[in-house]
């Protein structure tokens, strides 16, 4: 499969696979979370969409950047030989250098994300297994457990 080059912003808006048209507010897709992406701007949704479009236009003007195309970790480490060597030495690499930040930075973010996930998923002592969790959900939701497990709405 050959990657297509998008030469202008109008063409990009016609590619539903990119999500660009939803981020700029031209199309609404219930499955696409534009809120999270646009929330990175503190200037409101409409201004964020304009900032995003400006960012993309500037990227298109830069043209193709071979150092950012394909390869991922293999390219970052300098080839398959270095990947194999790192694995043999049990060196774990969490990122490639096309991501802003070092391996240590990426490790820190991953650790922080793991901690937040653990906090979010912590269950009460009463609901340590699926059966007791189902019972607790049914109780709190005010529905019989049999109805909860039935698969019906």
Q: List per-block mean pLDDT (blocks of 10 residues) for the chain, which spans 153 residues.
A: 67 82 88 85 86 87 69 66 78 60 71 73 56 82 84 68
129 and 102 share one domain: no
Q: Is residue 2 part of a domain?
A: no
56 and 74 share one domain: no
The answer to whether the pTM exceeds 0.85 is no
Q: Is residue 74 part of a domain?
A: yes
pLDDT for 127 equals 44
Q: Is residue 4 part of a domain?
A: no
Q: Is residue 130 part of a domain?
A: yes
116 and 128 share one domain: no
Distance CA 35, CA 64 (A): 29
pLDDT for 41 equals 80
SS3 assignment for 53-113: HHHHHHHHHHCCCHHHCCCHHHHHHCCHHHHHHHHHCCCCCCCCCCCCCCHHHHHHHHHHH
Q: How far apart, in Å, are the Cα atoms of 89 and each of 58, 82, 84, 86, 104?
A: 41, 10, 9, 5, 18
Q: Is residue 93 part of a domain?
A: yes
Provide the residue range defining the domain that includes 131.
Answer: 124-153
């Amino acid at each position: 499969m050959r990657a297509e080059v998008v030469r202008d912003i109008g063409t990009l808006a016609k590619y539903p696979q990119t999500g660009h048209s939803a981020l700029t507010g031209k199309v609404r897709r219930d499955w696409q979370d534009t809120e999270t992406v646009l929330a990175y701007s503190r200037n409101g949704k409409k201004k964020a969409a304009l900032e995003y479009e400006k960012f993309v236009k500037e990227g298109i003007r830069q043209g193709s950047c071979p150092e950012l195309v394909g390869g991922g970790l293999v390219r970052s480490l300098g080839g398959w030989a270095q990947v194999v060597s790192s694995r043999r030495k049990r060196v774990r690499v969490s990122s490639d250098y096309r991501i802003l930040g070092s391996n240590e930075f990426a490790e820190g973010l991953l650790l922080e994300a793991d901690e937040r996930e653990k906090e979010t998923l912590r269950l009460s002592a009463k609901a340590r297994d699926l059966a007791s969790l189902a019972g607790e959900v049914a109780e709190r939701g005010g529905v019989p457990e049999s109805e909860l497990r039935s698969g019906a709405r």
